[in-house]
Amino acid sequence: MHPGLRVSTGNRGPGAAETSSPSPSTPERSFNQVSKSVAEHGPTRFPCSKLKLDNLFLQWLSLPESQKLVLNLLEEAKQGKHLHGPVPAGPLSPHSAGAGHPPTFFNANTPPLSPSKVRSPRSPASPSRRSLSSSLRTQITGPAAIPQFHFPNGKPLSKEHTLAVQSKLDHLFLVYPQGLTVPAIKDLVKQVLELPSVLAYPLFSKLVVPSASMVTRDAVESWLQRHKVLQSEPVVRLFDILRKEGLEYVSQEDLKSMMAGILLSHPGLEFLQETPEFQDRYAETVIYRIFYALDRSNIGRLTLRDLRRGDLLEALTMLDNEEDVNKILKYFSYEHFYVIYCKFWELDSDHNFLISQEDLLRYGNHALTYRIVDRIFSQAARPFASQVQGKMGYEDFVWFILSEEDKSNDLSLEYWFRCVDLDCDGCLRSNEMLYFYEEQLHRMELMSQEPVLFEDVLCQMHDMLQPAKEGVFTLRDLKRNRHLAGTLFNILFNLNKFVAFETRDPFVVRQEREDPTLTEWDRFARGEYVRLAMEEEGEEVEEVPF
Ligand SMILES: [Ca+2]
Ligand SMILES: [Ca+2]
C-alpha cells in the first residue's frame, strides 16, 4: 500500500490522534496538503501529485477485476440502472473508505473517467490507458456516434455503383457469351476497372485457366470479390493485376506479360514486330528502368508503397493516349532504349553480352577514371546481376548509364556515394575524395591542362553544397542540393564532365534553358539519339556505291 494513500482515506483509525500534528515534512502531511489543495484548485496546479494519482489509478485499472467492474458499471449505466459503488474495494482503490462521500462510481474525486480525458483523444495518456479509454468511449457513446472513416478492406460500394458495374458486366458477357478474350478484357479494364487498356494482357494471363482460351464470368467475378477490386483505388488495382496471387510484391518477371501486351498493341512499336530480338531487349530495358526508378529498397521487388510513390500508372495511361511512344520519356521511349542499347553494344566489342572493366573504361570517350571503374566492378554501388565473375551484364549497365548520365536524382546520388565512401561510414571525407581526385590531376597533367588544386576544388564544393559539417559531405548534404551535387562526383572521376563544368559549355547551358522540364537523362538521350541516328545514316550513305 502506498504510504500517502493510507492517510488520504480520512479514516485514520485509533492511531490518527497521535499523528494529528505531524511535521510538515512527513509524507502524510504533505499528501494531506496536496489533497486539500487539489480539491480546491484542481489537479493541474500540482502536476506531481496528479502524476502520482494517475500512476495509482493506472495500477488499479490494470487489474483484471477493476476492468471487469468498470465495464459492468458502464453497461449498467447505459441501460439506465442505478449505479452502485464498487464493493469493498481493493487495496489501491481511492474509495476504500470514502471521506464521508457516498461511494458512487462517478464521485468527483475519482480520477479515471475524467470527462476531459475521455473526450480528448490527444490526452498524453499512456497507450494502455488510451486504448482502454477508447474502448470505454465506444461503449458509452455506441459505435454509431463516430462515423467509420477507415476501411481496411475497401470502402463498400454504393448501391448505384454496384448496379452500374453489374450492368456493364451483363453487357460485356452478352456481347461475348463464350467468355472474354484479350480485346474483350480491354473493355473490362477500361470501362469497369477504369485502368489503362494495356493491363488487359496481364489480367488475361492472371484470370485464364491453363489450356483455356477465354476468361469466364465466374473467374472475373470471383477475382473482383476476392480482392475487393472495385472498392480499391486505381493504384491498388494495378498492383493486384500485376502481382502473383498471394504475393505482396511485383517482380521483374511479373511485368513481362504487360510488356508483351504493349509490344503487341502499341502503334508506336509496330515496326519492332519484325525483329523479335529487339522486342525482347526493349521490354527488358523498360523493366529495368521501371525498377531503377521505383524499387527504392533495391531488392528486386515493387511493393504497393513503391507503386504509390512512383508514376507507373501515369506512364501507362499516357501509353493509352499517345501514339508516339518516344514522347513518353518515363520508361517507354524507344529512343531512350535505343541509346542505352547502342551504348552497351559499342562497349561489348566481342558481343557476348557482358562488359569487362577495360570495356567500361572506354565509356564516354574514356571519361571515367580507373579508380571509379574499379569501385563499380567491386560492386560497391550495387551487386551485379550478371552472375559472371568480373563482368557487368546488361541490367548492370542500365543502372550504370542511368546513374552516370543523370546525377541529379536520389538514386544516382546514392549509387555514386557508395562508390566514393570507401570506408562505408556514411560520410565522404577529404582523404576519400583525394583518392579519386589524384587520378584526375594526373590525367589533367597528361593532357597538358592546368591542374586545379584539390584544396580549390574542395573550397568550391563547400560553397556550392554547404555541408552541415565542414570537410565532410553526407548523403543528406548532397540530396539537399541535388541539382549541384552531381558536379562533386564529376570533379572526382569524370574528366570530360569536369572540364565541361569548368568551361561551362555554352551549348549545354542553352540546352538546359530550352526545356527545363527535361531531366539530365532526357537531354543526354535526346542528344545521343540524334548523334547515333546521324552515324547510322552516314554509314548507309557510305555503303551506297557510286
Ligand atoms: Ca563482351
Ligand atoms: Ca567515408
The domain boundary, picked from 279, 302, 327, lies at 327
pLDDT at position 504: 75
* pTM passes above 0.75: no
Q: What's the mean pLDDT in 519-527? A: 94
Q: Are residues 320 and 346 in the same domain?
A: no
Looking at the CA of 391, name the nearest ligand. Answer: 1
Choosing from 93, 110, 142, the residue where a domain stops is 142
Same-domain pairing of 398 and 475: yes
Confidence of residue 94 (pLDDT cuts 50, 70, 90): very low
380, three cell numbers: 560497391
Ligand nearest to the CA of 390: 1
Whole-number pLDDT of residue 339: 97
| Percentage above 70 pLDDT, the chain | 69
Compute the average pLDDT of residues 391-409: 97
What CATH number has the domain bearing residue 221?
1.10.238.220
The CATH number for 451's domain is: 1.10.238.10
What percentage of the chain has pLDDT greater than the value 90? Answer: 57
Q: Tell me whether residue 122 is in a domain.
A: yes
Separation CA 395–CA 515 (nearest Å): 29
Ligand 2 centroid to residue 367 C-alpha, Å: 24
pLDDT tier at 23, thresholds 50, 70, 90 = very low
In a domain, 127, yes or no: yes
pLDDT at 78: 67
Q: In whole angstroms, how far apart are CA 324 and each of 85, 283, 327, 341, 494?
A: 79, 17, 6, 20, 34
Lowest mean pLDDT among 239-253, 448-462, 512-526: 512-526
CA of 173 to the centre of ligand 1 (A): 53
> Does the structure show a pLDDT above 50 at 280?
yes
Ligand 1 centroid from CA 371, angstroms: 21
Co-location of 351 and 478 in the same domain = yes
Smallest-distance ligand from the CA of 428: 2
Q: Are residues 368 and 511 in the same domain?
A: yes
Q: Is the pLDDT of residue 97 over 90?
A: no
Query: For the ranges 266-270, 328-332, 471-475, 503-507, which has the lowest average pLDDT?
Result: 503-507
The arithmetic mean of pLDDT across residues 128-144, rounded, is: 43
| Alpha carbon of 474 to ligand 2 centroid (Å) | 9
Q: How many structural domains comprise the chain?
A: 3
How many Cβ atoms sit within 10 Å of the Cβ of residue 120?
12
How far, in Å, from the CA of 392 to the mean position of ligand 1? 9
Min mean pLDDT across 140-144, 340-344, 421-425, 539-543 is at 140-144
pLDDT digits (tens, 9 = 90+) for 260-270: 999 999 999 99
Radius of gyration of the chain (CA): 36
Q: 426 C-alpha to center of ligand 2: Å? A: 6
CA dihedral 411→414→419→423, nearest 10 degrees, is -160
Contact between 259 and 288 under an 8 Å Cβ cutoff? The reply is no
In a domain, 148, yes or no: no
Q: Which residue has the cell 550495387?
A: 382
pLDDT for res 42:
47
pLDDT of 220 over the 70 cut: yes
Nearest ligand to residue 471 Cα: 2
332 found inside a domain: no
Q: In angstroms, what is the span from residue 519 Cα to ligand 2's centroid?
A: 29
Using the mean position of ligand 1's atoms as its centre, give its distance from the Cα of residue 342 in Å.
13
Say which ligand is closest to the CA of 433.
2
Ligand closest to Cα of 345 equals 1
Ligand nearest to the CA of 351: 1
Cα–Cα distance measured from residue 419 to residue 424, given in angstroms and rounded to the nearest whole number: 9
Across 138-163, average pLDDT: 62
Taking the centre of ligand 1 as the mean of its atom positions, its distance from the CA of residue 349, in whole angstroms, is 6
Ligand nearest to the CA of 424: 2
Ligand nearest to the Cα of 432, by number? 2
Domain that holds residue 382: 340-536
Q: How far is the CA of 390 from the centre of ligand 1 (A)?
A: 11
pLDDT digits (tens, 9 = 90+) for 376-397: 999 999 999 998 999 999 999 9
Least confident of 35-49, 86-100, 111-125, 213-227: 111-125
CA of 528 from ligand 2 middle (Å) equals 35
Looking at residue 102, its pLDDT comes to: 37
- Residues 283, 379 within the same domain: no
Quickly state the pLDDT bin for 302 (edges 50, 70, 90). Answer: very high
Claim to verify: residue 254 and residue 275 sit in the same structural domain: yes
Q: Is residue 18 part of a domain?
A: no
Q: Is the pLDDT of residue 357 over 50?
A: yes
Provide mean pLDDT across the span 527-536: 92
Per the domain annotation, does 527 fall within a domain? Answer: yes
Distance 345 CA to ligand 1 centre (A): 9
Calculate ∠ Cα 394-400-401, nearest 5°: 90
How many Cα neighbours within 13 Å face the side chain of 165? 19
Whole-number Å distance, alpha carbon 362 to ligand 1 midpoint, is 13
**Same domain membership, residue 197 and residue 119:** no
Looking at the DSSP bridge assignments, the partners of residue 180 are: 215
* Ligand 1 is an ion; residues with CB less than 5 A from it: 348, 350, 352, 354
Residue 335 placed within a domain: no
Q: Evaluate if residue 48 carries a pLDDT over 50.
A: yes
Instruction: Tell how far the Cα of 380 is from the centroid of ligand 1, in angstroms.
Output: 21
- Whether residues 109 and 230 share a domain: the answer is no
429 alpha carbon, closest ligand: 2
In terms of pLDDT, which residue wins out, 48 or 166?
166
Band of pLDDT at residue 531, cut at 50, 70 and 90: very high
Over the chain, what is the mean pLDDT?
79
What's the 290 CA to ligand 2 centre distance in angstroms?
Answer: 30
Q: How confident is the model at residue 3 (pLDDT cuts 50, 70, 90)?
A: very low
Say if residue 7 is in the same domain as residue 34: yes
Same domain, 376 and 453: yes
Ligand nearest to the CA of 435: 2
Q: Are 122 and 238 part of one and the same domain?
A: no
- Of 327, 358, 387, which one is at a domain's C-terminal end? 327
Residues 87, 200, single domain; the answer is: no
Q: Quick one: pLDDT at residue 467?
A: 95
Integer distance in angstroms from the first to the last C-alpha of the chain? Answer: 111
